[in-house]
Amino acid sequence: MKVKRQGDKLMDLWPGDSDYVEDLAVDQKTFVVRGELGEIIYVRGADGAVTHFIERTAGGDLIAKKTK
């Protein structure tokens, strides 16, 4: 998954998708996508930088480490 900022919005692009979609903030670390089930939780390290995210769905959790 790729994540980018577009102005004040957080956008994500999953493999196989053709365009970025907006992540809507639930709180400072939890986001949802309109029309999708589940949530994305961004986890920060001691220095405040994002280290990984957890995509939480009814089917289980997907944990992905940040690569860039």
Question: For 52-62, what is each residue's pLDDT tens digit?
Answer: 999 999 899 99
Domain count, the chain: 1
> In this model, does residue 68 exceed pLDDT 80?
no
Domain housing 19: 2-65
Give strand ranges (E) for 1-68.
2-6, 9-13, 21-25, 30-32, 39-44, 50-57, 60-65
48: left (phi over 0), alpha (psi -120 to 50) or beta: left
0.95 cut: is pTM over it?
A: no
Q: Quote the pLDDT of residue 1.
A: 87
Question: For 1-53, what is each residue's pLDDT tens digit?
Answer: 899 999 999 999 999 999 999 999 999 999 999 988 899 999 999 999 999 99
